Amino acid sequence: MIPKLPKILLYLLIALFALNMAQSYFTELIFDEAYYWYYAQNMAWGYFDHPPMVALMIKMSSVFFNGELGVRFMSCILSVATFLVLWLLIENPKKERYGVQFFVLVFSMTLINAYGFFTLPDTPFLFFTALFLLLYKRFIAKPSALLALGLGMVMAALMYSKYHAVLVILFTLLSNIKLVWNKYAWLSVAVALLCYTPHFYWLYENDFVSIKYHLYERPNRAYEFADFTLGYFVNLVALFGLTFPWIYKSLYKTKAKDQFTKALLYLTYGVLIFFFISSFNRRIQTQWIIVISIPMAIMAFNYLLENDNAKKWIYRLGLANIAILLFLRIGLVYEPLFPVVYETHGNTRWVGDIKSQIGDMPVVFENSYRSAPMYAFYSGSPTYSLNNIMYRQNQYTIDDSESKVQHQKILYISKYTKSGDITLNWPDGTVFYGNYMENFESFRKLRCYVAEENITLNTDQELTLKVFNPYEANIPLEKIKFGIAYLNDYKQVMETLPLPMTPINKEALTIKAQDTTKFTFKLPKPKMENPGFFKISISENGLYMGINGDNIKLE
């Protein structure tokens, strides 16, 4: 049921929907959107980097439209729906007279504005956070089995949107610990877990690859105050733009006068403190803290309704924010207006440049899970991202895209080569080279496991390597070479070396299909001092070393 709205707010939301639809149509995809579009071409209960909600949104959008609108249509709908749910969350009787101020407040928030048409995991995350708070507000007023069912389904939808949803649920629970004795609260948890079971099973089937990567395998770097902690505070300002002093003042002035306001405060402060602490370990991205926009919008609007000075300045500064954002949104389409070359500029040009030279030939991009789906989206041709030891794992690591380019003539594009059969100029000025390969063959799905634990570097200990071949064919040993990468304590690859291997079965000439082959080796001495980790890698047919093993801690 659509809530009753002041006419002016209704007209503004209709205009917002029309604006976002037009923006979606005329704006080329950004790289992350192309990557999530790639997700949606093979629907699953999970993907390497994220849960599947963003892929479902794109799949639903593609039912109604082609092209960019076929990626973004559901984002346009959820954007307006988020405004509507936020309006319902505000009970102040004065609100009916301030529909314009409400719209200006929310629309001026930078990432809420951007995610009104961009399709990213945060788009459904924002909507389901607002919906979760709405149901929670009604649940604490009058718990019931029906509300518990709805709350459980929305919690699952939150978790299907983004793993950060656990923070929303956790801090809300901490604000009302008495819920642990509420039978309906337990019912909502049971419903959420039941709805989330398919993703749990997907994680199990894929060896918890997403969890392992985000928690253990992801590279980091040494702490830098300016980029990590100071950068975190810059992100807090960027989240709200010019209105930030008044938004944060509203947070400071809001008191926990009831259980729902207490939840808003716990959620906001909880996320702020969590990522502040995290900033001493890694760089915090702005979208990681975007969820505070939802409770802050509620608290800021309630505050301005009771404070004339805040009302005046949030409105004025909000309009200035909107003017800047609208100017930048035009620049996303019309490149000369944008201060820098952005991801929405020139994608059809560089894709068309390649396509005009190679036709429908498959393209393999070295170390680019961003360029590969972008090319596939605008060209309609098969692509693959060949990830090597100097890069990171991604969806191309675990899906079947490798099989679609095997034993074909392909164009291999790399920014690391100094020459090639064709030269390609990216919109940002980067030069890439493409080389033809007549019979491309890669074995990036070979998996390496070191049997021993508690391994030290300066030792002559003979170690055992297990190599699992998931392919349907045997792989001749003559086609592969083993290597080792030494990493620092931040899991950055610092040095690579060839690694002599001896098959335990001296007569082995192949790595058998669907089977594990064992080798022995000794750790070579690196040039770097005190490596923190090592990783076993395989190079096939002269390609650069792949990502075949996990990071292994050196004692």
Shared-domain flag, residues 288 and 215: yes
Shared-domain flag, residues 295 and 426: no
46-64: pLDDT as tens digits = 999 999 999 999 999 999 9
Shared-domain flag, residues 430 and 456: no
Looking at 437, 471, 487, which one is the last position of a domain? 437
- Note whether residue 431 is domain-resident: yes
pLDDT score of 541: 95
- Note whether residue 411 is domain-resident: yes
Shared-domain flag, residues 423 and 520: no
Q: Residue ranges of the alpha helices (H) in 334-385?
A: 347-358, 371-379
Shared-domain flag, residues 119 and 211: yes
Mean pLDDT for 123-140 is 97
What confidence tier does 460 reach under pLDDT thresholds 50, 70, 90? Answer: confident
Say yes or no to pLDDT of 40 above 80.
Answer: yes
- pTM for the whole structure: 0.94
Q: Residue ranges of the alpha helices (H) in 279-366?
A: 293-306, 308-333, 347-358
Shared-domain flag, residues 354 and 429: yes
Phi, psi of 156 (to 5 degrees): -65, -40
Shared-domain flag, residues 266 and 407: no
Measured at the CA of 15, the angle between CA 12 and CA 17, to 5 degrees, comes to: 110
Q: Which residue in this structure is represented by tokens 């080329």?
A: 28
Shared-domain flag, residues 454 and 495: yes
Shared-domain flag, residues 84 and 21: yes
Q: Alpha-carbon distance 153 to 459, whole Å? A: 54
Decide: helix, strand or coil at residue 364. Answer: strand
Q: Are residues 402 and 442 in contact, defined by beta-carbon separation less than 8 angstroms?
A: yes
pLDDT score of 23: 97
- Note whether residue 196 is domain-resident: no
Q: Are residues 68 and 177 in contact, defined by beta-carbon separation less than 8 angstroms?
A: no
pLDDT score of 417: 85
Q: If you average pLDDT over every residue of the chain, what do you get?
A: 95
Q: Which helix (H) or strand (E) holds 437?
A: strand 431-437
**How many domains would you assign to the chain?**
3
Shared-domain flag, residues 322 and 211: yes
Shared-domain flag, residues 275 and 390: no
pLDDT score of 429: 81
398-426: pLDDT as tens digits = 999 999 999 999 999 998 888 899 988 88
pLDDT score of 2: 57
Say yes or no to pLDDT of 326 above 70.
Answer: yes
Tell me the residue range of the domain where 375 lies. Answer: 347-437
- Note whether residue 293 is domain-resident: yes
Mean pLDDT for 14-38 is 97
Phi, psi of 436 (to 5 degrees): -80, 140
pLDDT score of 59: 98
- Note whether residue 171 is domain-resident: no
Residue 535 CB contacts under 8 Å (≥ 6 apart), including other chains: 389, 484, 485, 487, 493, 547, 549, 550, 551, 552
Q: Alpha-carbon distance 130 to 293, whole Å? A: 10
- Note whether residue 498 is domain-resident: yes
Say yes or no to pLDDT of 427 above 90.
Answer: no
